Amino acid sequence: MSTSTAPGGVRDIDLLLALFERPAAQRVYTESVTQAEHAMQCARLAEAAHADDALIAAALLHDIGHLLTIEETEMATPPGTDRHHEAVGAAYLGRWFHSEVTRPVALHVAAKRYLCGTDARYGANLSPASVHSLQLQGGPMSRQQCNAFRSARGWVSAIELRCWDDKAKRPGATTLDFERYRPLLVGLLSRRR
């Protein structure tokens, strides 16, 4: 992990990591883990796969849009509404991070739709919560949509992130330690263009 710093980086990362202390992050994410546990598990899977710093950060932060939208919109939108957390999260993270972090975040829902459109075994192994959200998000991609997805910049990283996302739902598998990722996140701030 990188340990470089950027001016104001600590304050920016404090704001970002504080989202994982909000009540929304402590809610059960799927049928088994909280948002915070899911984020930590996903980041650890990325580390275990020897992903680069940007993709580890994307894994940690990929569902940040849920934390931004749950409390603000759950009363204003009907149940079963797709809040497009991937777009909300990528736009928010774009304030601080380069597209190497934000693109996989923006594409991780499309990656699920792509995998469902190209691999029946993948769709059969989705959790019940992911099956439900898949329908809200447009269902499996068509062949034409899959071809378009493969032309998107960052699609391979989004597929990697999606696979970790699917595995990061194990109860009791996580000790929360967001501070361990602070140096990595601060180091990435200076690469924003």
CATH number for the domain that contains residue 178: 1.10.3210.10
Number of folded domains that form the chain: 1
88 in any annotated domain: yes
Which domain, by its residues, includes 173? 9-189
139 in any annotated domain: yes
70: confidence class by pLDDT, cuts 50, 70, 90: low
Q: Which of 5-9, 74-78, 98-102, 176-180 has the lowest mean pLDDT?
A: 74-78
Q: Which amino acid is at 103?
A: R
3 in any annotated domain: no
Predicted structure pTM score: 0.86
2 in any annotated domain: no
Closest to 20 measured CA to CA, from 56, 67, 55: 67
Cα–Cα distance for residue pair 70/75, rounded to 1 Å: 9
30: confidence class by pLDDT, cuts 50, 70, 90: low
At residue 28, what are phi and psi to the nearest 5 degrees?
Answer: -65, 125
1 in any annotated domain: no
Q: Is the dihedral of CA 72, 73, 76, 78 positive or negative?
A: negative
- pLDDT value of position 78: 46
Cα–Cα distance for residue pair 34/40, rounded to 1 Å: 10
120 in any annotated domain: yes
143 in any annotated domain: yes
Cα–Cα distance for residue pair 51/56, rounded to 1 Å: 6
Give the position of tokens 């200076």.
Answer: 190
R_g (Cα) of the chain, nearest Å: 16
